[in-house]
Amino acid sequence: MNILITGANSGFGQLIVRDLLREGHTVVGSMRDVAGRNAKTAADLAAQGAKVVEIDVTDDASVARGVAEARDKIGEIDALINNAGVGAHGLQENFSPDDFRRLFEINVFGVQRMIRAVLPAMRARREGLILNVSSLLGRVALPFYGPYNATKWALEAMAENYRAELSAFGVEVALVEPGGVPTGFIANLMHPSSRDRDPGYG
């Protein structure tokens, strides 16, 4: 199977690429800044047998270029794994609307960009798989994870709607809802841009 995965530079992304390659799949791992801060990771994935492309899921043009490059490297994309994402931690009231926008831009709008880029070909072939990496926090709300909860609940609704709308086209849509796993995810959590509401909470 030819598989494209976003966010292949860390955490689940690297683990998924490794396991898919071990199972004999052809994998394209995407990430930002392939020639810069992620150059070593890109080289490591390539050494394992993965193809690597640059995709910034927050940018329409980057998504279009990256998906086209992935097709050039492996042919048709049989499965898309939407793994790129960022977490958030802090009092929800402290997060500004711009903080929320940044989080939704990656965790929700980025997924929509990727799905729109691969769906026409999948529908035309009447087969494909879109796998969305959500979270247990897409089902259960926990304090201090509010904005992240909101993005994952939105992702779950989007996936359910796609599952229904694509059911007649042979394209399957699925969710994975991991719990807490010791990856680099925690170290890269987004925090509110202000702490000015802290005193009101004691």
pLDDT of the residue at 179 = 77
The larger pLDDT score, comparing residue 174 to residue 188, is at 174
pLDDT band with cut points at 50, 70 and 90 for residue 177: confident
pLDDT of the residue at 171 = 98
Check whether 186 has a pLDDT greater than 70: no
pLDDT of the residue at 120 = 98
User: pTM, whole model, 2 decimals?
Assistant: 0.93
pLDDT of the residue at 202 = 87
145 a catalytic residue: no
* % of the chain at pLDDT higher than 90: 88
b/e code 30-68 from CB counts within 10 Å (16+ = b): bbbebeeebeebbebbeeeebbbbbbbbeeeebbebbbe
Number of neighbouring beta carbons within 10 Å of residue 91: 17
**What digits encode the pLDDT tens for the residues 108-139?**
999 999 999 999 999 999 999 999 999 888 88
**158 token code pair:** 């989007």
Check whether 184 has a pLDDT greater than 60: no
**What digits encode the pLDDT tens for the residues 67-113?**
999 999 999 999 999 999 999 999 999 999 999 999 999 999 999 99
The larger pLDDT score, comparing residue 5 to residue 177, is at 5
CA–centroid distance for 97 within its chain: 21
Phi, psi (rounded to 5 degrees) for 48: -80, -15
Q: What average pLDDT does range 34-47 have in this prediction?
A: 94
Residue 88: strand, helix, or coil = strand
pLDDT of the residue at 189 = 86
